[in-house]
Amino acid sequence: MIAFLNGQYLAKDRVCISPDDRGFLFADGLYEVVRFYHNRPFRLREHRQRLENGARELRFNRCEFPEFDEVLMNLIEKNQLKRVESAIVYFQVTRGAAPRSHRFPPPETPLTVYAFAREFFSAVEEQENGAGAILVEDDRWGHCDLKTIALLPNTLAHQKARDAGAVEALFVRQGLVQEGTHSNVAVVKGGVFYTPPLTRHVLPGITRQAVIELCREADIEVRETAISKNFLLEADEVMIIGTTVEITPIVRIDGKLIGSGRPGRLTQKLQAAFFRLTHNM
Ligand code: PLP
């Protein structure tokens, strides 16, 4: 596999990152995952803008990544992924390497930029038949709107879901459902599409935005509003939304069936529209 590190393409097993890297020591970094469908990136500009916005919020010494698009395209090409149906590119930026100190390193310290690409397969069975989720208390920090690499609460919660035979854990903060560990969440009730509003506790998902647009095109009413745990459990349909999960129906939460326990009509309609959107770019 050919990866990218600080301006160079090299075999992934030759990538060397300093033990002083602030990503390693402090999780002081940001990342993006961009999906390619038949060699076409899905919403590339939106991913770059989210990264640049994160870099501004974290006060990185560089907040523009003009190389982003080209690195992604090159990795797809160099890894022979132009012809596969779907691939992902992972792109990470950290505040760079400097002797360990809480204080930011000198402003001339170069950021560390690392990226790799690989083929990616959708979880077709889960998308067709639906899957389970669990609810967990949201113990993450106060800036989940930034896509930082500090994902320990997410990985712990996700593993808890896997251990319970579910595919996602949904974070609940003060009785309100926020998002999944690697997805946004939405609910259908009475034909209306509900999703939590963009606050500091929710990542502004690129797929979430695309799905909202698909709803509007299909004349489905969208309400970006707080979703209580009870509202979620009594929904007609629940789905998780994201770059990797795309639109996956959630048919069981903490063992309780949602609606009929089968993927709902509106979820399936959005899945079909999303497939058309991603495969006719
Ligand atoms: N929320 C979290 C916590 C995520 O990690 C992700 C994606 O990884 C999402 C939501 C969905 O975002 P996107 O659609 O941009 O992939």
- R_g of the chain, CA atoms, integer Å: 19
pLDDT given for residue 264 in this prediction: 98
Antiparallel, parallel or unpaired: β 184-189 and 237-242: antiparallel
| Beta-carbon-side half-sphere exposure of residue 259 (alpha carbons within 13 Å) | 22
Centroid of ligand 1 to alpha carbon of 146 (angstroms): 10
Please provide the DSSP assignment of 53-80 as one string.
Answer: HHHHHTT-S----TTHHHHHHHHHHHTT
What's the average model confidence in pLDDT over 15-33? Answer: 98
Q: Tell the residue nearest (CA) to atom 3 of ligand 1.
A: 182
Q: Does residue 184's CB lie within 6 angstroms of at least one atom of ligand 1?
A: yes
* pLDDT tens by residue, 31-42: 999 999 999 999
What is the helix (H) or strand (E) element at residue 155, kind and residue range? helix 152-163
**Beta carbon of 50 within 6 Å of any ligand 1 atom:** no
Per-residue pLDDT at 206 exceeds 90: yes
In a 3-state reduction of DSSP, which class is residue 42? Answer: coil
Tell me the pLDDT tens digit for each residue of 121-151: 999 999 999 999 999 999 999 999 999 999 9
User: In the chain, what percentage of residues exceed pLDDT 70?
Assistant: 100
Give yes or no for a contact between 237 and 258, defined as CB atoms under 8 angstroms apart: yes
3-class secondary-structure state, position 229: helix
